[in-house]
Structure 1
Amino acid sequence: MTAPAVSISGQDADALGGDDSILMRQRRDHARLDAMMNRYLSEDLPPGDLNSLWLDIVRLVFSHAFAEETVLWPLLRRVAPDGEELTRQVEEEHQAINELVARIERSPDDPRRAEWIQQAFALIRQDIRDEEDELLPQLRTAFDDRTLRRVGAAWEAVRATAPTRPHPGVPRRPPGNALRGVPLSAFDRLRDLAPGSGPAARRASLAAAGAVAAGGAVVLAVRAARRHG
């Protein structure tokens, strides 16, 4: 990769376009992920709590990455001379994480599960560093504060309807990722909210239906982001 402008990792909110800018939203998610991974590896949690923490990490990783691929990386390919190379590398990282986490979810009793989870965490940490040091500074260079806040709002709208589980077969780029990913999001969120039956499951079914209906927000948010690109 080419040398970044200035990593966003050590900059304050004013330098990154304000608390609602895409850069601050990204950095907050990255910090939350880092804290959760550290907790998973360092705390002696009961198996149930450990599994719940793992699922929280998975949900954040995949909703975050889907919104990046839908909103941010198309913008970066338009404004950065090396945007194609930069985004291709991070898309490959996302695909590797998808495949590894899918394997973990398929094999809950495999003795290699703990090793695979550590490998997944290493990939996620590398992805965070590449984004904060290489990709996101390009957006800071290209856009003013107001546009960064608008892109942040578009990214958040997409994340609200994004898949929350690994789907290695979903394309990494729009429009294919939205066409195949948004319907899967409804299924993912049903699993997240209420496995089983009863009132909670019925509420989750309504939420899942809402996720499908809100799929149009993905298209609208991407168009809004592109208008400001």
Structure 2
Amino acid sequence: MGHGGNVIQELSTDHREVEELFQQIENETANPTTRRELADQLTMELVRHSVAEELHLYPAVRRYVDGGDDLADKEIADHSEVERLLKELEGCQPEEARFDTLIAQLKSSVTAHVRDEEDRLFRLLADSCPAETLDELGGKVRLAKESAPTRPHPAAPDTPPLNKILAPGMGMVDRVRDRLTGRGK
């Protein structure tokens, strides 16, 4: 979390970290405790990343990219599917067969979403948005991830203005819960 660079560099680095977490979960077959910890870390990263995109990336896409409303709406719909799967994973133990099924579904959804962003959306944004704005958005995304929720909240609003109002409060509650339970150490 917090890598530096413009918004595209920041989010692309997040994408690589999430890919690595998927790989670690797939490689760890013997220790259910480690698999749970990795799944929790994956969830925390994906939720923070999604919230930051919804707060800052997609409003910029709507503003700067031709057809940006449709692009942003599609990406937000992708996030909703991922968040639904994360919520289901949260209640699943690594020893259950459903755990691996959910990880596979999540990986498939996240991989498709990442490819779409990196192959299309980021290029369109880079071509239409001033470099200074991309740099500014990178800083805003880093800050948003620091206060974003760490647990899935599928029913929470994912567009402004309500997401900007509610996300920091949900993030605070999630981080308190994480500290009390030892999640994400």
Same fold (TM over 0.5): yes
Deviation string, structure 1 residues 24-51 (Cα, Å, up to 9, x no partner): 1111110111111012112335111111
Equivalent positions of 1:57-96 (< 5 A) are 57-96=42-81
Deviation string, structure 1 residues 72-109 (Cα, Å, up to 9, x no partner): 10111011111111111111110011111112213437
Structure 1 residue 120 corresponds to structure 2 residue 106: yes
Between the aligned partners of 2:92 and 2:25, the Cα distance in structure 1 is: 19
Letter in 1 for 2:136: R
- Which stretch shifts more, 175-184 or 67-76? 175-184
Question: In terms of Rg, which structure is larger?
Answer: 1
Between the aligned partners of 1:175 and 1:146, the Cα distance in structure 2 is: 24
Between the aligned partners of 1:180 and 1:158, the Cα distance in structure 2 is: 12
Per the alignment, residue 134 of structure 2 pairs with 148
Alignment match of 1:103 (pick from 88, 103, 110)? 88
- Larger RCO: 1 or 2 (CA < 8 Å, sep 6+): 2
Between the aligned partners of 2:136 and 2:166, the Cα distance in structure 1 is: 25
Letter in 1 for 2:170: L
User: Any conservation in 1 of the 2:89–2:99 contact (CA below 8 Å)?
Assistant: yes
- Which stretch shifts more, 60-69 or 136-145? 136-145
Q: CA deviation at 1:189?
A: 0.9
Alignment identity in percent?
Answer: 26
Per the alignment, residue 32 of structure 1 pairs with 17
User: Any conservation in 2 of the 1:86–1:134 contact (CA below 8 Å)?
Assistant: no
Deviation string, structure 1 residues 162-189 (Cα, Å, up to 9, x no partner): 1111100111101111222221111211
Q: CA deviation at 1:194?
A: 3.3
Deviation string, structure 1 residues 35-72 (Cα, Å, up to 9, x no partner): 11012112335111111111111110000110100011
Point out where structure 2 has 5 or more consecutive residues left out of the alignment: none
Point out where structure 1 has 5 or more consecutive residues left out of the alignment: 1-18, 197-229
The TM-score normalised by the length of structure 2 is 0.89
Between the aligned partners of 1:137 and 1:73, the Cα distance in structure 2 is: 14
Between the aligned partners of 2:113 and 2:51, the Cα distance in structure 1 is: 14
Letter in 2 for 1:98: E
Q: CA deviation at 1:110?
A: 5.1
Between the aligned partners of 2:122 and 2:39, the Cα distance in structure 1 is: 26
Between the aligned partners of 1:130 and 1:91, the Cα distance in structure 2 is: 12
Between the aligned partners of 2:56 and 2:100, the Cα distance in structure 1 is: 33
Between the aligned partners of 2:147 and 2:84, the Cα distance in structure 1 is: 21
The TM-score normalised by the length of structure 1 is 0.73
